[in-house]
Amino acid sequence: MSRSFVLDAAGPFSYEPSVPSRVYVETSIPSFFFEERPQPDMVARRDWTREWWAAASATSELVTSVAVIEELERGQFGSQEHCLRLVGELPLLAIEPPILEIVQTYIRHQVMPADPVGDALRVALAAYHRCDFLVTWNCKHIANANKFGHIRRVNAMLGLFNPALVTPLELLGGTDNVH
């Protein structure tokens, strides 16, 4: 993936990716896209998710996995069909045998809870397939600054790429211009 710096009117150098970012979409993203709870924090997450999705679907390569589809298919909830439709057209990352070994290593090193089809699988997929970002609202086990160092160390030990584990709000950006 090549990236370049270019001279433009915004300043001496601006970062211009020549390849779209690859973003792994985790289960909480379609769930919050169709969130209906009226509490202010739920409404905010829904709005940020929708705003991020509108921007990212035009500028990034959004991907997911069969693990996310299967999680959305379990149980019954009001927006289930909408959630499945939202991610239904996204390319699916393959769950290859090395990924299952990575999951077991995450569990053995207590990076993630001991559920081989849960959060450890999502992080392993994003790392193995070299996704630039794993976007989630799961701030307990995935987008958690207290876990980043541990995940990075285990991924380095395994020779894996380290995707940025972020929420949609973090990817919305904004400008740093202060006048």
User: In what side-by-side order are the strands of the sheet with 61-65?
Assistant: 92-93, 61-65, 22-25, 133-135, 164-166
CA distance 92 to 68: 9
pLDDT band at 2 (very low <50, low <70, confident <90, very high): very low
- Residue 147 token pair: 């876990």
pLDDT band at 174 (very low <50, low <70, confident <90, very high): low
Q: Which amino acid is residue 48, in one-letter code? A: W
Q: Give the predicted TM-score (pTM) of the model.
A: 0.85
Residues 109-121 pLDDT 10s: 998 878 767 899 9
- Structure-model confidence comparison of residues 114 and 123, the more confident one: 123
Residue spans of alpha helices (H) in 74-142: 80-88, 97-108, 119-128
Is 120:90 a contact under the CB 8 Å cutoff? no
Buried/exposed 58-92: b ≥16 CB within 10 Å, e otherwise: eebbbbbbebbbebbeeeeeebbeebeebbeebee
Domains annotated on the chain, with CATH: 20-172 (3.40.50.1010)
Is a pLDDT exceeding 50 seen at residue 41? Answer: yes
